[in-house]
Amino acid sequence: MLNVNDWRAAARRTLPRFVYEYVDGAAEDERCLARNRSALDAVSLTPRVLRDTRRIDPKVSLFGQTWAQPFAIAPTGLNGLIRPGGDLMGAAAAQTMGVPFVLSTASNERLEAVREAAPQAQLWLQLYVMEDRSVAEQLLRRAKAAKFSALVLTVDVPVSGLREKDLRNGFKVPFKPSLPMAIDLMRHPAWSLRQAMGGGPKFVNLVEDTKARMSAQAQAALLARAMDRGLDWYSLSWLRRHWAGPLLVKGVLHPNDARRAQREGVDALIVSNHGARQLDVAPTSIDQLPRVVEAVRGGIPVLMDSGIRRGSDVARALALGAHAVLIGRPVLYGLAVQGQSGIERVLTTLASELERTMILLGETDVGALRVSRSPADPYKARNAMPSRSTGSTSPR
């Protein structure tokens, strides 16, 4: 398997249809998903030649910690459905690769167990705020005790996006197989056996006490992303009372929101359309990235996710001002096929592609790539620079 698309095809063969489509699908007609790919394809970078590129430095630093690569593993829920122990494997792979791992609120392993599986990893916690805010408060207490170093507040899910594939597949927790699903499970015996032995995924971080009974309603609400729709900018003061460490806000697309977040003392932003899983008419992250970078004017770091499939995509995001990127679906493809080693192989492929891209661009470190190719008005340059691809815009 030479690239992420190869891993994607292998994951499709490995997983039952309802699981694969949960991982790979997006909102409504999936047009935002297609735009994520076509917008990245539209960004061209002009190489410089006759430069000494014998030593390439892909490292970045953030919040006093160094990353071996300018990417982190994005928060993804229900990793245990893809492979039991998926959160543990993701954290261990991140530790091996020297990059952060962001644990989702919708994780299937206790955050203390994740820390135990990766004692030296840079672990961050992604937070969904449900109507019962005591759930968030106990998560923050435990994350602090387990030495999670940063908090990622996801703000683009006041309600779940309309993911029609999941609805058609009867995707819900607890799972109740239909006849078509049962037939599909028989066609994927390895996955079915692993799930049977693992006992099926549960949202185990909803309660602080391991002996406490998890509410079926709370688990259903988390799967449906039934969040606190009263969460607003003023809620950040509540959050700060419970978390003193670095705070990133994920899901920002509008420059005005970026400026407001900066005024409210947020430590970094993640430009994201949630991998096109929320709002099908949303703009792409790569299109909005330069506008957000310009809005904060270097005051806080800006990261990006949604649509990254190649090391050259990482270079594109860095060139348009991103400090680093987050990788979501590609990690899950690797997890589905080969577990921890699959994740490591996917990330190693992306790192290798990025290094080759940097050499061909004539750049030796990612900081220079970002500075030398991020002009004073990056939004205008972004729209003047690319040439539109004439190929297919489908992520498939």
Q: How is residue 86 written in tokens?
A: 């998926």
Q: List, as one string, the DSSP characters of 194-231.
A: HHHHHT----GGG-SSTTSPPPHHHHHHHHTT-B-TT-
Q: How is residue 213 written in tokens?
A: 């009974």
Active site residue 274: yes
Task: State the Cα angle at 178 between 172 and 184, rounded to 5°.
Answer: 95
With contact defined as beta carbons under 8 Å apart, do 328 and 26 qualify? no
Burial pattern 363-391, b for ≥16 Cβ within 10 A else e, equals: bbbbbebbeebbbeebbebbeebbeeeee
Q: Residue 174 corresponds to which amino acid?
A: P
Residue with tokens 């970026």: 258
With contact defined as beta carbons under 8 Å apart, do 152 and 102 qualify? yes
Q: How far apart are CA 192 and CA 288, in angstroms?
A: 41
HSE on the CB side for 156, CA within 13 Å?
Answer: 23
Task: State the Cα angle at 186 between 180 and 189, rounded to 5°.
Answer: 145
Kindly list the catalytic residues: 274
